[in-house]
Structure 1
Amino acid sequence: MSTGTDLLADAAADQAVPVTRVDWRPPMDGTAADLATVATDPLRRAANERALAAMLDVTATLVDVAPASEVLGLAPGEFLHAGPPITWERASGPLRGALMGGAVLEGLVTDPEDAVALFASGSAVSLEPCHHRGAVGPMAGVVTPGMWMFVIEDAATGRRTCCSLNEGLGKVLRYGAYGPEVIERLRWMGDVLGPLLRGAVRARRDAGEPVDVTGVLTQMLQMGDEAHNRNRAGTLMLLRDLGPDLVATAAAAGVPSSDVAAALRFVGGNDHFFLNLAMPACKLALDAARDVEGSTMVVAMARNGTDFGIQVSGTGDEWFTGPAQLADGLFLGDYGPDDANPDIGDSAITETAGIGGFAMATAPAIVRFVGGTVPDALATTRRMREITLGESRRWTVPVLEFAGVPSGIDVTRVCRTGILPQINTGMAGRVAGVGQVGAGLVTPPAGIFPQALARLAERTVLRRGAAA
């Protein structure tokens, strides 16, 4: 019973009695029995310690840039997308727009509108989540065989993850735009930018000095970035690391200086460029925490524009899904809430790893992009500690006395407190072809966490039965 507690506290304080206030909330409806079952699981504590340690121990390095056909084995007609599995019939406007543009990019159609019948029939194309191929994709997350990908590697284990190159903001494929300027930019990225980056990345790798993406993330959090919607410092550090090798390898290969200048100008003018390195670095770390029996730690949060899904370490590859939510934030130009699609993208992998919305206290300036206030940003990072298993040793928050960012979302803590993970996100137009309409803050649908908790409780009971 919590009714009247504030009145009681106020009355006590008025009489000079010391009062400690706590933000107590009842568990989510219908979760009490499952919480009790999971709480008594003898594997849980050690499993969560193991999963969290595995995530925090990963060091991500940039080792290659290459086409998706090469590094992911994508065949003609195979398309990847953000979020949990979905069919064309249920796909949102921005996802449809990105798939239509991707079909033009791959030469499957010449008119984007002709791609509608192609995907509706499903006879010559297939859709699969990026997460199922060891990759992540921002916003619509569409990856085609010809797109060039960053390849991230864990130096200790050799495990790898991938992500496409970042196009910038506005009318871009990942926001569902597919006009001629979008396709032209993507073709330039495949013909010029990708090969130039490959030369520079391989030169550093072969010299034994690959770009330390985890290290860059550590530094950028000290420099006002939170690595989801603010990546300015990270992008400039990447340009510093790769610039000399890009120029040198391009000169050795006889690449025109105009191409080199265009590539450097594109990366330097795209503050979000580093996001597509932060995302696979976070996935690489979280993938190390997968499949730990008894662990209640979330290892993926992803959205396809229709559904929001999570995966949990102790439940394998199963997705727990609910309806994607509309973000609350700031809009571009004359756009408003009616123009926005529900939340979309794999970029919530950053929050899953403890940065992005969880690290908003490192980047108070982010509120000018996604809304809210500086005190809100500080409060968000503090609040996320209530639903996580620990904190990072590497990624710290200067304004909070260099405490580590909240790390390891715990399903049981979410269900027990009712506090939902905070995500800051871009907003895509709900109509295919529009592009970006704004940016804001969003949380997952609450019901997916009780779903995951129920499955964890079920597995706990089954294990007990098997041991009896």
Structure 2
Amino acid sequence: MNIEQANVEATTRMIEARPVLVGLAKAKDIIPGMKDNLLLHAGPPIEWARMSGPLRGAIIGALIFEGKAKNDKDAEAMVARGDVQFDSCHHHGAVGPMAGVTSPNMSVYVIENKTHGNKSFSNLNEGYGKVLRYGAYSDDVMTRLRWMENILAPMLRDAIEASGGIDIKALLAEALHMGDEGHNRNKAGSILFLRNLAPHLAKVAKNNSDLSDVLKYVGENALSVLNPVMAACKAMADAAHGIEGST
């Protein structure tokens, strides 16, 4: 086909895509090509020497989170020895906000494009302030990440499964009509996200204390839905990948 026909096909596939949040899983268990010593980051491939300060900080924090390093010196020594590999999230069907580091034992959202069958992945949103995606790796950042992995992630996984999946494209369309723009302003979308999850969180929660903490965390974080939305957009865009002649 010619360029115009190819571009029409690519655009049609993106429009027809239906990204649905279908689950949550460990990155090492679900992301293609993920390895024990691999860290994924936002943006194009880049070596340590050229990384920005926030990205280096996120790498250090991820290695501490994984238990591979005790502190920044340990992490930097690992990198210097070549013990750590880096690659772009996009090369593995994933996305990451800001510095966007994903490590093997972090849980990730699983988005499935129900129209074309491709999948995409994203880590969980930490909220505002001092966070890993901005390069912070202090004790409070690590404590929050471990709570997210040990308490939040299992409950979200079970709730998403119980829900039968959340149509992110439909959610985003509704949020746009409520004043969101789908990236930096996600207040309506995050409320809709919680509305979809809340009944199922109540069913799967093992105790009221954890349920209260999770509802509060998701409800107060206006960026809660951002990461699934980013992954959904990737699933839609990837539906147009590989069409010969498309520009």
TM-score interval for Structure 1 and Structure 2 normalised by the shorter chain: over 0.9
Deviation of the 1:290 alpha carbon: 1.2
Candidates 277, 297, 310, aligned match of 2:228: 277
For 1:197 and 1:52, the matched residues in 2 are separated by 33
In the alignment, residue 37 of structure 2 is paired with which amino acid? G
Give matches, 1:4-19, under 5 Å.
Answer: none
State the alpha-carbon separation in 2 of the partners of residues 120 and 214 from structure 1. Answer: 42
Pick one of 15, 22, 25 that aligns with 1:66. Answer: 25
Is 1:261 paired with 2:212? yes
**1:75 correspondence with 2:26:** no
The residue that corresponds to 1:185 in the other structure is: 144
1:291 to 214, 218, 242: 242
SS in 2 for 1:61: strand
The code of the aligned residue for 1:242 comes to L
| Structure with more strand by fraction | 1
Query: Structure 2 CA distance, aligned partners of 1:263 and 1:109?
Result: 28
Q: Do the aligned residues in 2 keep the contact of 1:161 with 1:280 (CA within 8 Å)?
A: yes
CA–CA distance in 1 between the matches of 2:184 and 2:74?
Answer: 34
Residue type at the aligned position of 1:112 = D
Number of aligned residue pairs: give it.
246
Q: 2:172 aligned with 1:172, yes or no?
A: no
> What is the distance in 1 between the residues matched to 2:160 and 2:26?
14
Task: State the SS of the aligned residue for 2:112.
Answer: strand
Find the aligned partners of 2:241 and 2:96 in 1 and give their Cα distance. 19
Which residue, out of 153, 171, 188, partners 1:233? 188
2:110·2:119 contact (CA, 8 Å) conserved in 1? Answer: yes
Q: Hey, what's the Cα distance between the residues in 2 that align with 1:291 and 1:203? A: 34
Q: Which amino acid aligns with 2:123?
A: S
Contact 2:116 2:239 in 1 (8 A): no
Counterpart AA for 1:240 = R
In the alignment, is the contact (CA less than 8 A) between 2:16 and 2:115 conserved in 1?
no
Q: CA deviation at 1:113?
A: 2.8
TM-score, length basis structure 2? 0.97
8 A contact 2:182–2:226 mirrored in 1 = yes
Where structure 1 has 5 or more consecutive residues not aligned to the other structure, the ranges are 1-41, 297-468
Q: CA deviation at 1:292?
A: 1.6
Q: What amino acid sits opposite 2:192 in the alignment?
A: M
Query: Deviations 1:110-146 (Å, cap 9, x if unpaired)?
Result: 1123211211221x21101100110000001100011
Letter in 1 for 2:204: T
**What letter is aligned with 2:68?**
L
Q: Deviations over 1:263-314 (max 9, x none)?
A: 1100001001111011011000000111222212xxxxxxxxxxxxxxxxxx
Distance in 2 of aligned mates of 1:263 and 1:239: 10
Superposition deviation, residue 256 in structure 1: 2.0
What corresponds to 2:93 in structure 1? 134
- In structure 2, the residue matched to 1:221 is 176
**Matches of 1:141 and 1:189, distance apart in 2:** 16
Query: Partner letter of residue 147 of structure 2?
Result: W
Contact map agreement 1:89 1:120 (CA 8 A) in 2? no
Aligned to 1:90: 50
Please give the alpha-carbon distance, in whole angstroms, between the structure 1 residues aligned to 2:204 and 2:117.
25
CA-atom RMSD in angstroms: 1.1
What's the TM-score, normalizing by structure 1?
0.52
Per-residue deviation at 1:233?
Answer: 0.4
How do 1:407-422 residues align onto structure 2 when only pairs under 5 Å count?
none
Partner amino acid, structure 1, of 2:183? H
Point out the structure with max Rg over C-alpha: 1
Q: 1:245 aligns with which of 196, 200, 204?
A: 200
For the 8 Å contact 1:83–1:130, the answer to whether it is kept is yes
| 3-state SS of 1:221 partner | helix
How far is the alpha carbon of 1:75 from its aligned partner?
A: 2.6
